[in-house]
């Protein structure tokens, strides 16, 4: 039996109810976060909270918790109820419930849902994945972690049906990011390239950690968008997300990357990120 948190209560997942007039349900009018936990400890909590608060402010949704600590208490209680130590949680905040109308009332109370989930083994994926390319069909505020993910869902599905693990999206011939992850390449000079953090990408928490770790390890990071030509010439490529960490890429469309071997920089960052997350367990 799995429990979730819903608007102040802990409920069995199958007993949790949300109104048909929830604005998330009707309009995708809400935001979310996916957070990891290891050994019962939340990872990168402050970074996720910072992004969550920014998303809420951008959508003018009021904060449903007085401070991040009260949310932390709720989450730790949920982990205990579900008897889970390692995994992920999904936290969704919608604008709330109101009679269906595009205009939103000013005094509406947000709906909050939190549930935990686990991922299967990443062993095979960590050996390297393939990536397709497609036009970026999304809106101009990809920096908001909105629950409106239709373009991402459709492109990921299309890629999957053609045998690709992830799909990188292009805007004006420049790679923005994957449908569920951030995109990186390493060029011949061992410089790491990734799209700058602006309204065209979701500023990933893992992206931030990886950049920080790369800089700490004297690697050069250039936050500048790259194109298909750069991909053809690159030495290494990888993607990042909370649920995957750092994942090597061995093929992008028809371009084989690094003879399908995990590059040194990718391998280093995979290890550094893992160490960095493990260190948080004891903080
Ligand atoms: N997705 N870009 C997009 C479009 C994403 O959906 C995600 C994460 C990322 C990586 O962000 P982070 O490192 O903070 O997880 C980048 C989550 C995991 C999801 O929707 O399940």
Question: Tens-of-pLDDT digits for all 283 residues of the chain?
Answer: 899 999 999 999 999 999 999 999 999 999 999 999 999 999 999 999 999 999 999 999 999 998 999 999 999 999 999 999 999 999 999 999 999 999 999 999 999 999 999 989 999 999 999 999 999 999 999 999 999 999 999 999 999 999 999 999 999 999 999 999 999 999 999 999 999 999 999 999 999 999 999 999 999 999 999 999 999 999 999 999 999 999 999 999 999 999 999 999 999 999 999 999 999 999 8
How many A from CA of 105 to the centre of ligand 1? 30
Strand order in the sheet with 3-6: 9-12, 3-6, 111-117, 87-94, 30-38, 41-42
Q: Quick check: 28 and 146 in contact, CB under 8 A?
A: yes
Query: Phi first, then psi: what are they for 152, rounded to 5°?
Result: -65, -45
* pLDDT given for residue 72 in this prediction: 97
> Of all atoms in ligand 1, which is nearest to the CA of residue 208?
13
Question: Is the minimum distance from the CB of 205 to ligand 1 under 6 angstroms?
Answer: yes
How many A from CA of 111 to the centre of ligand 1? 22
* pLDDT given for residue 6 in this prediction: 98
* pLDDT given for residue 66 in this prediction: 87
* pLDDT given for residue 166 in this prediction: 99
How many A from CA of 82 to the centre of ligand 1? 24
Catalytic site includes residue 145: yes
CA separation, residue 213 to residues 51, 112, 187, 236 (Å): 19, 33, 18, 17
* pLDDT given for residue 194 in this prediction: 99
Question: Is the minimum distance from the CB of 167 to ligand 1 under 6 angstroms?
Answer: no
Q: What percent helix, strand, coil does the chain show, rounded to 5?
A: 30, 30, 40
* pLDDT given for residue 217 in this prediction: 98
* CA 274 to centroid of chain Cα atoms: 17
Q: Please tell me the pTM assigned to this model.
A: 0.98
Nearest-CA residue for atom 2 of ligand 1: 181
Query: Residues 41, 47, 145, 156: which is the catalytic one?
Result: 145
The per-residue pLDDT of the chain, averaged, comes to: 98
């Amino acid at each position: 039996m799995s429990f979730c948190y819903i608007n102040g209560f802990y409920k069995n997942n199958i007993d949790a109810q949300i109104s048909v007039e929830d604005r998330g349900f009707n309009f995708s009018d809400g935001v979310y976060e996916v957070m990891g936990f290891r050994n019962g400890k939340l990872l990168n909590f402050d970074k996720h909270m910072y992004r969550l608060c920014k998303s809420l402010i951008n959508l003018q949704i009021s904060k449903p918790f007085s401070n991040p600590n009260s949310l932390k208490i709720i989450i730790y209680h949920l982990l205990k109820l579900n008897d889970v130590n390692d995994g992920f949680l999904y936290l969704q905040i919608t604008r709330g419930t109101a009679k269906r109308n595009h205009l939103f009332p000013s005094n509406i109370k947000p709906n909050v849902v939190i549930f935990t989930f686990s991922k299967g083994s990443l062993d095979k994926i960590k050996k390297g994945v393939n990536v397709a390319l497609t036009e970026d069909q999304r809106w101009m505020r990809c920096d908001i972690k909105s629950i409106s993910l239709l373009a991402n869902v459709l492109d990921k599905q299309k890629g999957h049906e053609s045998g690709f693990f992830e799909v990188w999206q292009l805007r004006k011939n420049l790679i923005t990011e994957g449908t569920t992850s951030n995109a990186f390449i390493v060029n011949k000079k061992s410089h790491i390239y990734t799209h700058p953090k602006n309204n065209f990408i979701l500023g990933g928490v893992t992206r931030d950690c990886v950049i920080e770790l790369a800089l700490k390890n004297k690697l050069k990071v250039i936050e500048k968008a790259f194109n298909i030509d750069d991909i053809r010439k690159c030495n290494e490529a990888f993607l990042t997300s909370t649920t995957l960490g750092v994942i090597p890429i061995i093929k992008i469309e028809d371009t084989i990357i690094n003879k399908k071997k995990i590059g040194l920089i990718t391998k280093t960052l995979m290890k550094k990120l893992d160490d960095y997350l493990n260190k948080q367990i004891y903080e």
